[in-house]
Structure 1
């Protein structure tokens, strides 16, 4: 049975593919400067060499499988033969994963909805999804509008802005912090801390510590004085989560909501400003903002790779034999450009939500509607206020940094005609303390507005 650590470079050599970023045995590394600089090129090389599932190496030359095919990703997501519980991993069971491995913080098992299976997963999933369903959608849009207008007013009079630093990263921080129950005064510092955690740099530990302290204080506060927020709903949920479980899931929601939503906003704004497909279609009235968001989710998923699946038995996927206990990573970005389903990656994908960006199956992202609402409402307001925005630098000078798991746009400098401040939206009524109640089911979403925007071309 073939295993990632026994595959050699013979197949690649036969096809004449360059073996950059390769481990000593010839298997390509998924990390490092070369691999992270051009990940899509690496995915296509792996696809050409191995097909829908490829052997790769992670930090410390740890062996793993990367799923490249769209259909095969869905198969792994939906099959009970693959678990999110890392205690199934051979490297954990055998003790061969180094204690200081960079994979430890990502894969170490915790009693979280993202890392559990069976009845325990069902219990935690019910608490999280029903607590999220308790979000009032009309009030949510009001708060998104309130914070978006405030941020736009902060730079509208200047005639220039960095839409990543001044808007894309701040708006989700304000909105998500409010929904969780975190004070507005702490929103931006918590958002910056989460960003530090994701970066994996020297500030990661300090960022994690700030987030841990914030959710600890939030839980203690809401135990004494419940409010209309996610922290209170998780504490009051009939599934009876412990205080520690509530804290861990609030931390998970922060990490899972802030970075992906910020990336979604930034990448959508970049496409609208620079991509001829969207400038032409939007100005011609054929492309709507929801269409643009979906295109970004196809082309630039917030997470490129999800390394949290392990085979529970010997099994074949995409013609590749995988052994029980092997790590099997979901290649969301690679699956979204699988030529089997997208023979022309430059062609816009209209009205198609079958991308892999939010996952599928039992572990599908439960908060995707919140992220979509923040992105769509915020971008809608921004484009209405500064519809003449143009890039201050050439598109090819924009910088993207990232790791083997995700990539982010570092800045998006724009110029536009200075505006006066908009009239402040009415303030929402203060939220009085309430008795804990069980969250109600979410109402059916209203049909999406189909709006078109006319943009000046550079």
Structure 2
């Protein structure tokens, strides 16, 4: 991508940059802000500088000073998402990849490299692949999944409830999504610490990331082979048997995308919601007082700190204009979920309550909108509710300023969330948690009556030899009693 010269000198010659000591020193070629390295430790602040300098769409630099446009405006992001005729996820059209600016060993290559999956496809191929994924998603029993989420939460809490202390990131937020995704995909027996570690390691981009990815793909390809031979009522079997007829490689790659994206986004969402509950007394008071439900708290978190802060790249299919900037064919653009969610044109007051408003960018939008967002919401809703019900006195076990994050251009991941609470005994994982258990009701307890039961009158004694008096004619029951009999099926 070559945006129109961003250098005040009319050239991008780095030798013409500012001298040491100048406020602009440390910027990239053309005085552009870098989205990596020490200069970008607080990307939120960088995005606000870019907004102030350039408006809703700003030029910036990726790793190794690859030029990119950052879409900061909420409306501009939505336009890009909803206009597939102008913008695509097919990275093969990105000029920076075509001309070698993005080299094969570029640090972001695992993210930006094209793959034969629905996320990078368009047109008929996108409809075929996306249709298979959404078709398999539609078979998920959401009520049953919520029961599994509750049971998995109880199982995880049982592991630390007697200690009185825990790290809700390592012992809860990073495990609950993986346990649920293994259940949904049809491989609950594969859920273990190694699978969780491999997913986290692959996303960190460490030296062992390639080996972790290979392990995950081996697990998923073995699952694909098993379900080809013995289909069951799970996501993988429905994906295999979808009329789109995906081959084994397509099945494995889409299982990987669903597993990793759902895992990472939901782990971040859980950690973010729990952190706010533990550090914001007003937020927790509204939650405890009934002014806010857990689903509303989750939605507020999706506005304030989306699980993925950006997605890259989108590519311009033709020369166009966005946010007052001239975008050339082949230019790359970043979908700015986090900066778009705090666009002052849609959120002039960031402290304002966003309850009931789902117009955030946390799950993207348009043809590539996240198909599993309701599953992610369910895991966060049920998981947070069950945890807080089980441990109502839970508190942060450190100062808020001591919390640490691991940040990247894609997201901001809370490293740990230490908590303390009164130790509690383990609970039967088959029971739904309840602070005040409800006693079993009798069949007709739902009938409300103010009358007290009266003792039955004794049967009249009839002297021998006297005729039995004729019974009094039965009185027809009133309308209300007849309605009750009809309702009860008498």
User: TM-score normalized by structure 2?
Assistant: 0.83
1:221 maps onto 2:226 in alignment = yes
Distance in 1 separating the partners of 2:380 and 2:290: 20
Identify the range of structure 1 (45-54 vs 176-185) with the bigger mean alpha-carbon deviation.
Answer: 176-185
Residue of structure 1 in register with 2:484 after alignment: none
Gaps of 5+ in 1: 428-458
Where 1:55 maps in the other structure, the secondary structure is: strand
- 1:283: Cα distance to partner? 3.4
- 1:8: Cα distance to partner? 2.5
1:177 maps onto 2:176 in alignment = no
Instruction: Describe how 1:122-137 pairs up with structure 2 within 5 A.
Output: 122-137=127-142
Where 1:212 maps in the other structure, the secondary structure is: helix
Where 2:301 maps in the other structure, the secondary structure is: helix
Residue of structure 1 in register with 2:310 after alignment: 305
Distance in 1 separating the partners of 2:100 and 2:127: 29
- 1:140: Cα distance to partner? 0.7
Q: For this pair of structures, how many residues does the alignment match?
A: 422
RMSD: 2.0
Instruction: Describe how 1:87-106 pairs up with structure 2 within 5 A.
Output: 87-106=92-111
1:67 maps onto 2:71 in alignment = yes
Question: Does the CA-based 8 Å contact 1:20-1:34 persist in structure 2?
Answer: no
1:7 maps onto 2:6 in alignment = yes
Distance in 2 separating the partners of 1:287 and 1:107: 39
What CA deviation, in whole Å up to 9, does each residue of 1:275-334 have, x standing for no partner?
Answer: 133023223321111111011101111111100310000100011110000001101000
Question: Does the CA-based 8 Å contact 2:182-2:190 persist in structure 1?
Answer: no
- 1:10: Cα distance to partner? 8.4
Residue of structure 2 in register with 1:201 after alignment: 206
Where 1:201 maps in the other structure, the secondary structure is: coil
Residue of structure 2 in register with 1:383 after alignment: 388
What CA deviation, in whole Å up to 9, does each residue of 1:237-269 have, x standing for no partner?
Answer: 111111110000000001110011000000000
- 1:145: Cα distance to partner? 1.3
Query: Which has the larger Rg?
Result: 2
- 1:20: Cα distance to partner? 6.2
1:237 maps onto 2:242 in alignment = yes
Where 1:309 maps in the other structure, the secondary structure is: strand
Identify the range of structure 1 (351-360 vs 341-350) with the bigger mean alpha-carbon deviation.
Answer: 341-350
Distance in 1 separating the partners of 2:113 and 2:200: 20
- 1:206: Cα distance to partner? 1.6
Where 1:329 maps in the other structure, the secondary structure is: strand
Where 2:53 maps in the other structure, the secondary structure is: helix
Match 2:43 to one of 39, 50, 62: 39
Distance in 2 separating the partners of 1:277 and 1:20: 41
What CA deviation, in whole Å up to 9, does each residue of 1:335-355 have, x standing for no partner?
Answer: 000001111112221111110
CA gap of 1:185–1:238, structure 2 versus 1, over 3 A, is closer
Where 2:313 maps in the other structure, the secondary structure is: coil
Question: Does the CA-based 8 Å contact 2:69-2:334 persist in structure 1?
Answer: yes
Residue of structure 1 in register with 2:353 after alignment: 348
Question: Does the CA-based 8 Å contact 2:66-2:101 persist in structure 1?
Answer: no
Q: Which has the higher contact order (CA 8 A, sep 6+)?
A: 1
Identify the range of structure 1 (397-406 vs 99-108) with the bigger mean alpha-carbon deviation.
Answer: 99-108
Match 1:252 to one of 248, 252, 257: 257
1:149 maps onto 2:148 in alignment = no
Distance in 1 separating the partners of 2:215 and 2:191: 10
- 1:139: Cα distance to partner? 1.5
CA gap of 1:268–1:20, structure 2 versus 1, over 3 A, is farther
Where 2:254 maps in the other structure, the secondary structure is: helix
Distance in 2 separating the partners of 1:283 and 1:385: 14
Distance in 1 separating the partners of 2:286 and 2:303: 17
What CA deviation, in whole Å up to 9, does each residue of 1:145-194 have, x standing for no partner?
Answer: 11110001111111111111111110011110111122434443222211
- 1:4: Cα distance to partner? 3.4
Tell me which stretches of 4 or more aligned residues in structure 1 moved more than 3 Å.
Answer: 2-5, 17-21, 185-188
Distance in 2 separating the partners of 1:21 and 1:189: 40
Question: Does the CA-based 8 Å contact 1:19-1:28 persist in structure 2?
Answer: no
Question: Does the CA-based 8 Å contact 2:97-2:103 persist in structure 1?
Answer: no
Question: Does the CA-based 8 Å contact 1:311-1:323 persist in structure 2?
Answer: yes
1:323 maps onto 2:341 in alignment = no
Question: Does the CA-based 8 Å contact 1:277-1:348 persist in structure 2?
Answer: no
- 1:91: Cα distance to partner? 1.8
Where 1:378 maps in the other structure, the secondary structure is: helix
Question: Does the CA-based 8 Å contact 1:174-1:188 persist in structure 2?
Answer: no
Distance in 1 separating the partners of 2:199 and 2:323: 36
User: TM-score normalized by structure 1?
Assistant: 0.89
